[in-house]
Amino acid sequence: MSDSTINAPASLAAMPSKRTIDVVNAGLAKRYRAEKRFRIYGVTAIILSLCFLTLLFVDIISKGYTAFWQTKVRIDVHLDPEVLQGENLQTADYPGLVKKSIRNLFPDVQGRKDRRLLNGIVSSGAAFQIRDLVTANPDRIGSTVQLWVPADDDVDMLMKGHMPRDVPEDERRLNDKQLAWIDQLQREGRLQKTFNRILFTVGDSREPELAGIMGAVMGSVYTLLITLVLSFPIGVATAVYLEEFAPKNPWTDLVEVNINNLAAVPSIVFGLLGLAVFLNFFGLPRSAPLVGGLVLTLMTLPTIIIASRAALKAVPPSVREAALGIGASKTQMVTHHVLPLALPGMLTGTIIGMAQALGETAPLLMIGMVAFIVDIPGGFTDPSTVLPVQIYLWADSPERAFVEKTSAAIMVLLAFLMTMNALAVFLRKRFERRW
Amino acid sequence: MKKLVVIGIALIALVGFTSALQAQSARDYISIVGSSTVYPFATVVAEQFGKTSGFKTPTIESTGSGGGLKLFCAGVGVEHPDITNASRRIKKSEFDTCQQNGVKDIIEVKIGYDGIVMANSKKSAPMKLTRKDIFMALAKDVPDPSGAEKLVPNPYKTWKDVNPDLPDKKIVVLGPPPTSGTRDAFVELAMEGGAKKFDYVKNLDKKMFKATAHTIREDGAYVEAGENDNLIVQKLEKDPDALGIFGFSFLDQNADKIQGSFVDGVAPTFDAIAAGDYPVSRPLYFYVKGAHVGSIPGIDAYLKEFTAEKAWGEDGYLSDKGLIPMPDEERKKFASDARSLNPLMLQ
C-alpha cells in the first residue's frame, strides 16, 4: 500500500513529457480507421437494401412482364342470320357460333369429349366479343368476320412457356391432342401474341385471360379522391390551429399526444371503427369507395397533421413578426404569409400519406372492399375494390395464369406509388424555400 | 378563389353523402358473402350472370362460412347481404339467430362437393395413407402406442413410426389455420374418421371425443401455412418431404407439380370424389334470404344461373373450375327446390 503511493509520482515523472499534438497524432490512425469503418457500415447498409430492392423488382418483373402480352386466336365466325334473328340480340347463342367456327377449323375432330377439349382452346370471352360486335353493327349479320379472340389461359401459359411440354400427359393441363391442335393453329398463323389491352380496360374476372385491373384502379382513384378531399383540409386546418392559434395548455398537449398516438395505431383498428360507425351507425353502403375513403382519411390524418405542423414550424418567426409588425391581423399573417410558405411541405406530407393509403388493405377488409367485383365502379357509392386488394385476390386464385397477373398488378401499383412520390419530390424541389 | 375551393369541397362531400343515402335506399346488385371455398365457384357464376343476364354483377366477399352466416343472419334489409356461401351446413344455433332477427325464409341450395386433399411434391413417391394414419400423425394426443387404453402426447416423429408401411420421413404437414373452413372439414372428415378406428376413443363421451379428434398437434409437425393455398403449393415444391392440405381445385390446377395422397386406398381424382369413394370430401352450400327475392333485382335469375346444367352439371363450367357435381337426382331436387324458393326447415 505505502509502496504504490510512493511509486506513482515517480513513474509519472519518469515518463517523457508529451505534447498534445503527439497524443493526437498517435491516435490519428485509429480514428481514421474508425471513420472508415463507420462509412463502410453505412455503404453496406445501402448496398444491402438496394440488393433486396433489386431482388424484389427482378422477381416481380421477371414473373410479370409476360402478362402485358396475350395470346389470341384468329377465328372466322359466320354471323348466321338463323341464330341471330329475333328481337333480342343479347341472348342469342353466341357460344354456339364460336364453337361452330372452331369446329370448322378442325373438321375431323369427332366425339363429345374431344369437341369439349377443342372448344376449351378459345376463351369464353370470345362469345361476348362477338355479341358486342353484333350489337354495335347489326348490319353485318349474314357475313363472315375474321376475329382475333383471346385464347384460353392454359393455351396462353403454354405459349408463354410457363407450362412445360415435356412432362407426362396426365400431369399437364393440356393433353397431347390439344397440343397438336395448338401446333396446327400456330402453323396456320392463327395464333399471335398481342399487347394485352384487356388487362387495362376491364374489371376483375375469374378467367385469367379476361381479367383486368381497371375496376381496381377506378376504385383506388375514387377512394383516394375522398381521402384527399377530406384529409387535406382537415389536416391542414388542425395543424394551423394547433401551431398558430392554440394556447399552450395541458389540453392542447393532450390533443398533440393523441395525434401522435393515432399515427401509430394499426390500420385494421380504423377498419373496425369504420364498420361500427360508418356502416352500422350511419348505414352507409358496404364495399363503397365513399366509406373506404372515410376510413383511410382517419388513417392518414395524423400523418398529414404531423407533416403540416413540421412545415409550419420551419417557417421562421421573423416572417410572422414582420407581418404582424406592419399591421396584419393574425388570420392575415397565417393565410397571406405563413401558409403559402409552408404549403410545399404540407403537400409533400399529404402525398406521402396518400401513397400510404393507396397501399392499404387491412382497414378495407372490414368494410367489404375485399370482394370480387366485376363491374367498373362509376361513382363513390358503387361497390368497388382497390389495387392492393386486387393483388391479394389474384395471388389467392388457383389458376396458374394469375401468377403473372398478380405481378403485373404489383407493377402497376408500384408505378402509381413512384409517380406520387416523384410528384412529392418535384413539389418540394420546385416550391421549397430555404432560410 | 379560396372561397370557391372551400365551397367546391363542401359540395363534393355533400353530393357524396346524399348519393350514398340514395344508394342505400335502393341497392340494385346482389350482395354475397361467405365461405372462401365456395368463393371460386360463386364468382364464376356471378361473372357469367353479370355478362349474360343484363343485371349488375353481384359482389362477393370471402368472409369464411361462419362470418358469412353471421352477416347473413343479422337482419332483413338492403344493408344486409342477400346470399351467403358455406362449406358446411347451417348450424341450428345460426338458424335460430336468423329467425330471431327476422330472417324467416332461408332457401338452402347444395351446389356440389369439394375434396380435401393431402398432397406432396411429384419429386417423391405418392403417400398411401389411411385416416387412422392421418389421425395418429397429426392429433395432439394419441392412444398409447404400448396398447394401454389412455391418451399420451403424440410421440411420432416420422411416418414410419406411425405405420411401418410408410416411408421413413419426418412428419411435416402444411395446412390451413383454425379459422379456415377447410381445416374444420379436414378435422371432421379425416381426423374424426381416424379416431373412430380406436374403440375406446370412440366410446369416450362426446366432448372428450371431439377434443381428442379435433385437436391438432402443436409441436411443429403441423405448420399453419395461412389461408393462401398457392403458397402451400410453392412450399411443397421446395420441400419434397412435406405434405400439404388444401382443396381439390388447387391439386387440379397444379397436377404437374404435386400429387394427391391416397386416403384409405382411394386417390383424390375427380371421378372418385364424385362417386363418393374418396372419404375426405364435403358438400358445399349457399343460402338465400327469401325476403330479399323480388326486392333486390336478379336474385331469382342468379339462382337459375347457378342451378342450370351448364353451370353445375357434369360438363358445366363449374366442373372446369374443380367443383365436383352432385349426382343427377340430387341436382334435380335442389334445382327445383331453389326455383320454387322452398324455405329451409330445421328441427
pLDDT category at B194 given cuts 50, 70, 90 is confident
Whether residue A92 has pLDDT greater than 80 = no
Rounded distance between C-alpha atoms, residue A110 and residue A123, angstroms:
21
In this prediction, residue A231 carries a pLDDT of 95
Taking only residues 122 to 181 of chain A, the set having a beta carbon closer than 8 angstroms to any beta carbon of chain B reads 124, 128, 163-164, 167, 170-173
Q: Which residues pair with A293 in a beta bridge?
A: none
- Alpha-carbon Rg for chain B in angstroms: 23
For residues B4 and B289, the model is more confident at B289
**Residue A354 · residue A228 · CB < 8 Å:** yes
Which residues, at least 6 apart from B243, have a Cβ–Cβ distance to it below 8 Å? B118, B119, B120, B127, B172, B173, B174, B236, B261
Rounded distance between C-alpha atoms, residue A77 and residue A134, angstroms:
11
Sign of the Cα torsion B321, B323, B324, B327 reads: negative
pLDDT category at B100 given cuts 50, 70, 90 is very high
pLDDT category at B106 given cuts 50, 70, 90 is very high
**Residue A69 · residue A160 · CB < 8 Å:** yes
Predicted confidence (pLDDT) per residue in A343-371, tens digit: 988 998 999 899 999 999 999 988 989 89
Rounded distance between C-alpha atoms, residue A276 and residue A202, angstroms:
33
ipTM of the complex: 0.77
Whether residue A86 has pLDDT greater than 70 = no
Average confidence (pLDDT) over B199-208: 80
CATH of domain A214-431: 1.10.3720.10
Q: At residue A24, what is the residue type? A: V
Percent of chain B with pLDDT over 90: 22
Whether residue A107 has pLDDT greater than 90 = no
pLDDT category at B123 given cuts 50, 70, 90 is confident
**Residue B139 · residue B216 · CB < 8 Å:** yes
A&B contacts, CB < 8 Å = 115
Domains in chain B: boundaries: 2-113+283-339, 115-281
- Alpha-carbon Rg for chain A in angstroms: 33
Instruction: Tell me the shortest Cα–Cα distance from A231 to chain B, in angstroms.
Output: 11
Q: Where are the alpha helices (DSSP H) in A1-83?
A: 2-14, 20-64
Whether residue A297 has pLDDT greater than 70 = yes
Rounded distance between C-alpha atoms, residue A27 and residue A25, angstroms:
5
Rounded distance between C-alpha atoms, residue A279 and residue A379, angstroms:
18
Shortest CA distance to A211 belongs to which of A227, A200, A221? A200
Average confidence (pLDDT) over A136-165: 88
In this prediction, residue A250 carries a pLDDT of 92
Whether residue B302 has pLDDT greater than 90 = yes
**Residue B325 · residue B270 · CB < 8 Å:** no
Of A233, A371, A379, the CB nearest to B59: A371
Whether residue A7 has pLDDT greater than 60 = no
Q: At residue A261, what is the residue type? A: N
**Residue A211 · residue A153 · CB < 8 Å:** no
Classified as helix, coil or strand, A255 is: helix
Of A284, A286, A403, the CB nearest to B31: A286
In this prediction, residue A1 carries a pLDDT of 44
Least confident of A199-203, B60-64, B302-306: B60-64
Interchain CB distance below 8 Å, B12 and A372: no
Sign of the Cα torsion A374, A377, A378, A382 reads: positive
Domains in chain A: boundaries: 2-65, 68-203, 214-431
Q: How far is CA A101 from the centre of its chain?
A: 40
Instruction: Tell me the shortest Cα–Cα distance from B178 to chain A, in angstroms.
Output: 18
Whether residue B17 has pLDDT greater than 60 = no
Looking at residue B344, the DSSP 8-state letter turns out to be P
All 3 cell numbers of residue A189?
Answer: 398463323
Of A230, A371, A398, the CB nearest to B253: A398
Whether residue A246 has pLDDT greater than 70 = yes
φ, ψ dihedrals at B116, nearest 5°: -105, 125
pLDDT category at B89 given cuts 50, 70, 90 is confident
Rounded distance between C-alpha atoms, residue A413 and residue A285, angstroms:
26
Interchain CB distance below 8 Å, A400 and B50: no
Average confidence (pLDDT) over B318-324: 85
Interchain CB distance below 8 Å, B79 and A283: yes
Output the CA angle A17-A23-A27, nearest 5 degrees: 150
Average pLDDT of chain B? 85
Least confident of A151-165, A286-300, B66-80, B226-240: B226-240
Instruction: Tell me the shortest Cα–Cα distance from A295 to chain B, in angstroms.
Output: 14
CATH class belonging to B115-281: alpha beta
In chain B the first and final C-alpha atoms are separated, in Å, by: 69
Taking only residues 10 to 39 of chain A, the set having a beta carbon closer than 8 angstroms to any beta carbon of chain B reads none
A396 contacts on B by Cβ (under 8 Å):
227-230
Rounded distance between C-alpha atoms, residue A367 and residue A271, angstroms:
7
Residue of B nearest to A372 (CA): B60
Looking at residue B239, the DSSP 8-state letter turns out to be -
Whether residue A111 has pLDDT greater than 90 = no
Looking at residue B52, the DSSP 8-state letter turns out to be H
In this prediction, residue A2 carries a pLDDT of 46
Average confidence (pLDDT) over A398-408: 90
In this prediction, residue A17 carries a pLDDT of 67
Of B43, B51, B317, the CB nearest to A372: B43
In chain A the first and final C-alpha atoms are separated, in Å, by: 64
Shortest CA distance to B58 belongs to which of A393, A286, A283? A286
Rounded distance between C-alpha atoms, residue B158 and residue B242, angstroms:
11
Interchain CB distance below 8 Å, B61 and A371: yes
Average pLDDT of chain A? 88
Rounded distance between C-alpha atoms, residue A380 and residue A255, angstroms:
32
Whether residue A408 has pLDDT greater than 90 = yes
Average confidence (pLDDT) over B33-52: 89
Average confidence (pLDDT) over B265-269: 90
Interchain CB distance below 8 Å, A375 and B256: no
In this prediction, residue A118 carries a pLDDT of 87
φ, ψ dihedrals at B112, nearest 5°: 155, -165
Rounded distance between C-alpha atoms, residue B237 and residue B256, angstroms:
11
Predicted confidence (pLDDT) per residue in A317-335, tens digit: 999 999 999 999 999 999 9
Average confidence (pLDDT) over A201-223: 93
Whether residue A388 has pLDDT greater than 80 = yes
**Residue B311 · residue B263 · CB < 8 Å:** no
CA B121 → CA A97, A136, A213, B176, B247, distances in Å? 42, 50, 33, 18, 16
Whether residue B219 has pLDDT greater than 90 = no
Topology given in CATH for the domain delimited by B2-113+283-339: D-Maltodextrin-Binding Protein; domain 2 (3.40.190)
